[in-house]
Amino acid sequence: MSNSIAHTKPFFDQREANALLAVIETRLVNEGDLANKLVRRTAQLSHSLGGVPTSTGTLGLHLALRTLGVDTKDDEVIIPDLACRSLYDCVKIAGGTPVFCDINLEDYSLSIDSVRPQLRKNTRAIILPHMYGCPAKIDEFLELEVPIIEDCAHALGTVYRGAPVGSFGSLSVFSLEGSKLIAAGEGGVVLANNPTMLHSLNTLRYGLDGHFAYHYRLSDLIASVALAQLDKLPLIIERRRHIANIYRNELKYLGNIGVLSLPNLFSERESVYYRFVVVCDTDSDDLISFANQKGVLIRNPLPSGCLSASYKGHATDNRNSRLLTTNGASLPTYPDLSDSDIEIVVDVIHSFYKSKRVI
Ligand X SMILES: Cc1ncc(COP(=O)(O)O)c(C=O)c1O
**CB closer to ligand X, 294 vs 328:** 328
- Of 10, 157, 166, 188, the one binding ligand X (CB under 6 A) is 188
Distance CA 280, CA 260 (A): 5
**What percent of the chain is helix, strand and coil (3-state, nearest 5)?**
40, 15, 45
**CB closer to ligand X, 152 vs 349:** 152
For 180, how many CA atoms within 13 A lie in the half-sphere containing its CB? Answer: 29
Report yes or no: 161 and 140 within 8 Å, Cβ to Cβ: no
Let me know the angle formed at the C-alpha of 157 by 151 and 162, rounded to the nearest 5 degrees: 95
Contact range with ligand X by CB under 6 A, out of 16-24, 151-159, 214-222, 312-320 = 151-159
**CB closer to ligand X, 86 vs 333:** 86
**CB closer to ligand X, 154 vs 294:** 154
Distance CA 61, CA 53 (A): 12
Distance CA 342, CA 234 (A): 21
In angstroms, give the least distance from the CB of 130 to ligand X. 8
175 lies in the site for ligand X, by CB under 6 A:
yes
Contact range with ligand X by CB under 6 A, out of 80-88, 219-227, 233-241, 342-350 = 80-88
Distance CA 311, CA 91 (A): 13
Report yes or no: 178 and 169 within 8 Å, Cβ to Cβ: no
In angstroms, give the least distance from the CB of 150 to ligand X. 10
153 lies in the site for ligand X, by CB under 6 A:
yes
In angstroms, give the least distance from the CB of 300 to ligand X. 14
Inter-CA distances, 125 with 60, 135, 145, 183, 340, Å: 15, 18, 10, 27, 45
Who contacts 131 (Cβ-Cβ below 8 Å, separation ≥6)?
Answer: 80, 83, 103, 107, 108, 109, 154
218 lies in the site for ligand X, by CB under 6 A:
no
**CB closer to ligand X, 125 vs 346:** 125
Contact range with ligand X by CB under 6 A, out of 38-46, 55-63, 91-99, 339-347 = 55-63
In angstroms, give the least distance from the CB of 52 to ligand X. 14
Contact range with ligand X by CB under 6 A, out of 14-22, 31-39, 81-89, 245-253 = 81-89
158 lies in the site for ligand X, by CB under 6 A:
no
The site map against ligand X for 90-129 (x = CB under 6 A) is ---------------------------------------x
- Of 5, 77, 84, 288, the one binding ligand X (CB under 6 A) is 84
**Looking at beta carbons, which residue is closest to ligand X?**
57
Q: Is 242 helix (H, G, I), strand (E, B) or coil?
A: helix
Inter-CA distances, 201 with 78, 146, 170, 191, 284, Å: 21, 18, 11, 8, 42
Distance CA 96, CA 76 (A): 6
225 lies in the site for ligand X, by CB under 6 A:
no
Interface residues with ligand X (CB under 6 A) are 56-58, 83-84, 86, 129, 151, 153-154, 175, 177, 188
